[in-house]
Structure 1
Amino acid sequence: MSGATPPASDGPADREVAVAGAAMTRFGERDERLFGLLVEAATGCLREAGVDPTAVDGCYVTESGGSYDGGQGLAGRLAGDLGLVPAYATCIEQTSAAGAAGVHAAARAVRAGAYDCALVVGAEKMTHAPTEVVTDRVSAVTHPAAHRHGVTVPAFAGMTARRYLDRFDAPRAALARVAVKNHRHGLANPKAHLRTAVDVETVLDSPIVADPLRLYDFCPISDGAAAVLVTSRSWARERGLPHATLAGVAGATDTHVVHERPDLTTLGAVEEAGERAFEQAGVAPGDVDLLEVHDMFTILELLQLEALGFADRGTAWRLAEGGETARDGRLPVNTSGGLKSKGHPIAASGIAQVVECFEQLTDRAGERQVDADTAVACNVGGFGNCAIVSVLESTA
């Protein structure tokens, strides 16, 4: 795959990296504007960690590029309003992988010794725009030639789901079970957008959006924000901050023109990013206790599990069918409710995945808590155009 992130260097400047604070707003339909959501998540993160704003020496504000709300200069404005000055502040745009792109940038800067404490915060305000406008802006990530002909990201999802079901003889109900499971997980998340239970019949009877995918195979359009503190482990230890080690984080890209990929059912960027992140962390799929994956569509959850090595090609649907990815299953996936239930304020989603991993690994997940020492987050841009995988480990 082209554009893969090179492995972190082994030079003397390298330091262990940690996530030492995390917070998110309630996801859903919010009255606040974009900047207000950024402030809410950022101040919540600093407050929960007990870190003074003056201790932050780097600030990354993540943007999706959708221009749903807000303006320019968000990073500098946020730094000024929060009292982070003179910290370096910048914005990072990487479509729906923007959140993890911010974590990736902060982790590399901390590892290299540029910062001791970096704040990463992302938000999206979307619900004020009509659904067709949001869909069009999301689909602008597709290649211009495809976009001009009306091809949307949901259309790609439908075509891929049809190919997967036919090729691997998977039952349509298996995709529905992904939605049912993630809605059930979302019931235990007080900040989730959709806190409602659904059954397989409800999913299969909902309106068709992109055949064979129906309404309940898609995540909701959401407002919200999330933030994390990325620090050196020594900095967190010195201050007695509960933290999780960010043992590996890597990104990669795939062919931008989706129909030119050799196989629609293979997420090459996820494969590359996963291999590199696992190598950095010194772990294998069998060592992982918990995953947060980018289930913008139900089919994406299955494709990521296969690309990351948690299931053989064409078999991840069996994990959903057998309940193995449920919170009480062998391999809990999307204990937060995932994008499907928790919601998908685009630039915040990758950060919110890390928030869930942090809360699970530091025993702060409440009713959602599972027994986990190693967690993985996978944030996807577009329909597999890029991906960033993070591996976090408990320090308890």
Structure 2
Amino acid sequence: MRPVYVSAAAVVPFGKQPGRPAAELGAAAAAELLRGAGLSPDAVEAGFVGAVYGGSLIAQRVLQRVGVSGPPVFSVENACASSGAAAHLAWQAIAAGVYDCVLVAGVENLTAFGSGALPLTSADIEVEQGQVMPAAYAMRAQRYLHETTATVADLTAVTVKNRGNGALNPRAHFRKEVTAAEVDASRPVADPLQLMHCCPNTDGAAAVLLTSDGFARELGTPRTRIRASVIRSGRFHTSFRDMTWPDITERSARAAYGMAGLGPADLDLVELHDAFAIAELLHAEALGLADRGTAHKAVAGGEFHRDGRVAVSPSGGLLSRGHPVGATGASQLAECHWQLTGAAGALQVPGAEVALAHTTGGGIYGVDNGACSIHILTAED
């Protein structure tokens, strides 16, 4: 299999943009990507666009707006991992020698749903009983607090850290630091989660250009190599479900580390799927960033801060950057790419050479999560 590179990235700043439909947001990100790379639309050999609520033929509606018309394009829906899955499919195609230049985008406009929890599929027994994602994560949080020495203050510390990072990110939905007192004073959502323990519904789009080695050299833009690209789905069972262990993340990470020939200790930064504050603790442990039941101690000790042992969500994560679900995976890849090419500005993690992007999502009966994508990237000379 051939090596695959990220050769350019672009993100439409996240936030409430009710007047901009998903296709328009996606086209803006794709146009910025092509312009920044100095690339003609005719050079794009294929396109993969991830979205959850974008509607039929979202890939065509995005890419035709920027002149990518005629080559094969694919719309990808895989819950919160949609554009992570789109990147995986593009990676496969380039690694197999099918294409040399593929445009990957993720798009979403969630303003149409107003405030509150996003709608889940109605053809599901748990959803029909009233299950929503804040409630699912609240149950996970309650169990984690019960089984460890963590407290609600540790959940708040995650929010304070990530909102502090996001305050420096011009692409983030929330660009203001918050104090622990402000987090604790935010309104209750689902015990023990307060509003600021939850990511905001957001509109936005992101795009990354995946290329072969030869194409990357000809293009001449700063590049990063994708050392691993992994997708896993949740294992279905109706027996006991451990609410404190995201098995899908652990399995995906194990496969990605094996593919890359790297381990958790090699990571300089992780863009992690922190849709709720408890998610950072659970997924950090499943990724091997901390021993089980100790991630809250790592946060408290500064180990996950931007200048710590491994920077977790230096962009601000979903808690600050926002979570336009279809766009999250691609935006994480963009943030990792900029970190590894030294283009992250105020967000820069000193000496960053290895990064991991992680998305997981999709609450359906019988699985811990529906889909998970993990990419490991390294800096290139």
Q: How high is the TM-score relative to the length of structure 2?
A: 0.95
* Residue 51 of structure 1 pairs with residue 39 of structure 2: yes
* Aligned amino acid, residue 387 of structure 1: C
User: Paired residue for 1:224?
Assistant: 204
Structure 1 gap ranges (5+):
1-13
* Aligned amino acid, residue 373 of structure 2: I
What is the deviation of 1:71?
3.8
User: Paired residue for 2:293?
Assistant: 314
What is the deviation of 1:255?
3.7
* Aligned amino acid, residue 121 of structure 1: A
User: Paired residue for 2:146?
Assistant: 166
User: Paired residue for 1:36?
Assistant: 24
CA contact (8 A) 1:256 1:385 kept: no
* Residue 23 of structure 1 pairs with residue 10 of structure 2: yes
Matching of residues 193-232 of structure 1 within 5 Å: 193-232=173-212
For the residue of structure 2 that corresponds to 1:42, the secondary structure is: helix
Range with bigger deviation, 381-390 or 48-57: 381-390
* Aligned amino acid, residue 51 of structure 1: L
CA deviations 1:2-45 (Å, max 9, x no partner) are xxxxxxxxxxxx10000001000010011311111011000111
* Residue 120 of structure 1 pairs with residue 104 of structure 2: yes
What is the deviation of 1:256?
5.2
Matching of residues 233-312 of structure 1 within 5 Å: 233-255=213-235, 260-312=239-291
Q: Counterparts of 1:252 and 1:261 in 2: how far apart (Å)?
A: 20
User: Paired residue for 1:190?
Assistant: 170
CA contact (8 A) 2:79 2:370 kept: no
User: Paired residue for 2:342?
Assistant: 363
Range with bigger deviation, 21-30 or 83-92: 83-92
User: Paired residue for 1:75?
Assistant: 59
Q: Cα–Cα, structure 1 residues 260 and 42, in superposed 2: closer, same or farther, change >3 Å?
A: farther
CA contact (8 A) 1:247 1:280 kept: yes
For the residue of structure 1 that corresponds to 2:92, the secondary structure is: helix
Root-mean-square deviation (Å): 1.5
CA deviations 1:61-103 (Å, max 9, x no partner) are 1111xx3xx5422222333332223321110000111010011
What is the deviation of 1:201?
1.7
User: Paired residue for 1:3?
Assistant: none
* Aligned amino acid, residue 106 of structure 1: A
CA contact (8 A) 1:79 1:87 kept: no
Matching of residues 335-346 of structure 1 within 5 Å: 335-346=314-325
What is the deviation of 1:260?
4.2
What is the deviation of 1:385?
2.6
For the residue of structure 2 that corresponds to 1:309, the secondary structure is: coil
* Residue 97 of structure 1 pairs with residue 97 of structure 2: no
CA contact (8 A) 1:251 1:269 kept: no
User: Paired residue for 1:349?
Assistant: 328
For the residue of structure 2 that corresponds to 1:35, the secondary structure is: helix
Q: Counterparts of 1:39 and 1:387 in 2: how far apart (Å)?
A: 26
* Residue 176 of structure 1 pairs with residue 156 of structure 2: yes
* Aligned amino acid, residue 74 of structure 2: T
CA deviations 1:219-264 (Å, max 9, x no partner) are 011000000001112210132221000010101122457x745311
Range with bigger deviation, 216-225 or 382-391: 382-391
For the residue of structure 2 that corresponds to 1:245, the secondary structure is: strand
Q: Cα–Cα, structure 1 residues 77 and 216, in superposed 2: closer, same or farther, change >3 Å?
A: closer
User: Paired residue for 1:390?
Assistant: 375
For the residue of structure 2 that corresponds to 1:102, the secondary structure is: helix
Report how many aligned residue pairs link the two structures: 374
User: Paired residue for 2:360?
Assistant: 380
Q: Counterparts of 1:353 and 1:50 in 2: how far apart (Å)?
A: 22
CA contact (8 A) 1:186 1:338 kept: yes
Q: Cα–Cα, structure 1 residues 72 and 47, in superposed 2: closer, same or farther, change >3 Å?
A: same
User: Paired residue for 1:147?
Assistant: 127
Q: Cα–Cα, structure 1 residues 152 and 87, in superposed 2: closer, same or farther, change >3 Å?
A: same
Q: Counterparts of 1:393 and 1:346 in 2: how far apart (Å)?
A: 25
For the residue of structure 1 that corresponds to 2:312, the secondary structure is: coil
What is the deviation of 1:129?
2.4
* Residue 61 of structure 1 pairs with residue 49 of structure 2: yes
Q: Structure 1 residue runs of 4+, over 4 Å off? A: none
For the residue of structure 2 that corresponds to 1:357, the secondary structure is: helix
Q: Counterparts of 2:58 and 2:150 in 1: how far apart (Å)?
A: 45
CA contact (8 A) 1:34 1:123 kept: yes
Q: Cα–Cα, structure 1 residues 85 and 127, in superposed 2: closer, same or farther, change >3 Å?
A: closer
For the residue of structure 2 that corresponds to 1:363, the secondary structure is: coil
* Aligned amino acid, residue 77 of structure 2: E
What is the deviation of 1:130?
2.2
Q: Counterparts of 1:281 and 1:234 in 2: how far apart (Å)?
A: 21
For the residue of structure 1 that corresponds to 2:216, the secondary structure is: helix
Fraction of identical pairs, as percent: 39
What is the deviation of 1:325?
0.8
